[in-house]
Amino acid sequence: MLHLFYTILSYIIQPFILLMMWNRGRKQPAYRHRLAERYAYYDNDQQPVENGVLVHAASVGEVIAATPLIKAIQEKYPTLPITVTTVTPTGSAQVHSAFGNSVSHFYLPYDLPDAMTRFLDFVKPKLIIVIETELWPNLIHKAHTRDIAFVIANARLSPRSAKRYGWIKSGLAKILNKIDLIMAQDAVSAERYLNLGFHQQNLVNTGNLKFDLEINNELRNQVELTRKELNLQQRPVWITGSTHEGEEKILLEAHKQLLTRWHDLVLILVPRHPERFASVEDLLIKSELNYTKRTDKVALDANSQVLLGDTMGEMMTLYGLAQIAFVGGSLVKHGGHNPLEPIAFELPVISGVHTFNFPEVFAKLRYVKGVIEIKSEVEDLVQAVDFLLENPNACQAISQAGFSVLQENQGALKRHMALLAPYIEK
């Protein structure tokens, strides 16, 4: 009954979804492109290779989390076709940035029975791997009826999602138990899936793939090249990554105050969503800070105080340019973003207190004093950045404590690959 109600409702809301996509396309035109793909209609020149692995990673964060797994699969099974799906243009851009033409990429269609039938007829995968949190009842059901293995990798279930799913627990259990394997990223998420009725024998706590992040020589070379291009070799830099509405005003005011003492300090400000680039630029104009946009591809001059990171696929490169990182989504009640990306560069991390998207990661960081947590006040942020700039030994101690957490918790990728092997090699 729940599945039927969900499907009927999904059809009813389609006109509203199309209107939303069209409106969203005003700020980000890519949302108006390739709309046919969202209903699983494809051009003749779009042809994935059959009998491969389908990896669904909703947007940028999930694509980044999936990247080491996909590359490990490519390395171990070099002839295996891989198709990656996303639901956002930014996720699509991240796929192309990370993999080029080595994978096929399409948008995952809306979860309608006819669209999912066309989609599976088109891709014909032997294994579907969904990254982190995406539960699509019709996709799960269609895969089950076709005997296509369905796995959730690096599975995460937030408190909000667990509460929402709990309202429909009895009906949801039937859908969940059509999933072959859930590889939970932490004990908290594992327990939440079990509480929703998922069978324990098909659930493994593998750890978080995001701990297996490594900075390779190619990325380090790109960082140094970018540092020279931007003329940042001799200037201190702090970065605020993946920021949300309500945070930028605090960050810009903090930077203004820091400049009274650290005159050549540069802030790299990177909003989470591209559709907000213009509104954040408006805030920069009102702040009267001198700024340069990354898309302008010009070096910062002596008067430049802020670099607006308004590109896609460069987050890791921009983190590499900094000496201190603030991770966004944490001064407001968004739940925070992945602190392990700057930690991989051995940067000290500052965060707000709203980090419920990564409970175990932040618990481990707090335990070893590998993060500075602040309230949503300008003064607290100024004090934290000022302390790190003034105390290089303390800065290094915090960064190394965080880096030790990253190193000590690696191994999820190896566990994922071992559990996926029977499905890939079937």
Q: What is the mean pLDDT of residues 247-263?
A: 98
> What residues have CB less than 8 Å from 389, skipping those under 6 apart?
236, 258, 262, 265, 323, 324, 395
Instruction: Tell whether the model's pLDDT for residue 1 goes beyond 80.
Output: no
Q: What is the mean pLDDT of residues 213-224?
A: 92
Neighbouring C-beta atoms of residue 306, cutoff 10 Å: 23
Mean pLDDT over each residue of the chain, to the nearest integer:
93
Per cent of the chain over pLDDT 70 is 100
Region of poorest pLDDT, from 119-128, 161-170, 400-409: 161-170
pTM, to two decimals: 0.83
Region of poorest pLDDT, from 30-34, 55-59, 179-183, 298-302: 30-34
Q: What is the mean pLDDT of residues 6-26?
A: 89
Q: Identify the band that residue 370 occupies on the pLDDT scale cut at 50, 70 and 90.
A: very high
pLDDT tens-digit map of 371-395:
999 998 999 999 999 999 999 999 9
Q: What is the mean pLDDT of residues 123-131?
A: 97
Tell me the residue type at 5: F
Q: What is the mean pLDDT of residues 174-200?
A: 93
Q: From the centroid of its chain, how far is CA 425? A: 28
In this structure, are strands 266-271 and 149-155 parallel, antiparallel, or unpaired? unpaired
> What residues have CB less than 8 Å from 275, skipping those under 6 apart?
24, 27, 28
Catalytic site residues? 62
pLDDT value for 165: 82
Q: What is the mean pLDDT of residues 159-183?
A: 88
Q: What is the mean pLDDT of residues 258-268?
A: 97
In this structure, are residues 261 and 255 in contact, taking their beta carbons and an 8 Å threshold?
A: no
pLDDT value for 95: 93
Q: How far apart are CA 134 and CA 409, in angstroms?
A: 24
Q: How far apart are CA 31 and CA 287, in angstroms?
A: 30
pLDDT value for 143: 97
Six token digits for residue 169: 């627990």
Taking Cα atoms as reference points, which of 284, 306, 282, 283 lies closest to residue 294?
Answer: 306
pLDDT value for 347: 98
The better pLDDT of the pair 43, 392 is held by 392
Region of poorest pLDDT, from 82-86, 245-249, 355-359, 404-408: 355-359
Instruction: Tell whether the model's pLDDT for residue 27 goes beyond 80.
Output: no
Neighbouring C-beta atoms of residue 229, cutoff 10 Å: 12
Q: Identify the band that residue 37 occupies on the pLDDT scale cut at 50, 70 and 90.
A: very high
The owner of tokens 């990306």 is: 341
Helix H or strand E encompassing 267 = strand 266-271
Q: What is the mean pLDDT of residues 351-356?
A: 95
Q: DSSP E strands: which ranges in 87-235? A: 104-107, 127-131, 149-155, 181-184, 203-205
pLDDT value for 29: 81
Domains, the chain, with CATH or none: 28-207+411-424 (3.40.50.11720), 217-408 (3.40.50.2000)
Region of poorest pLDDT, from 66-80, 169-183, 277-291: 169-183
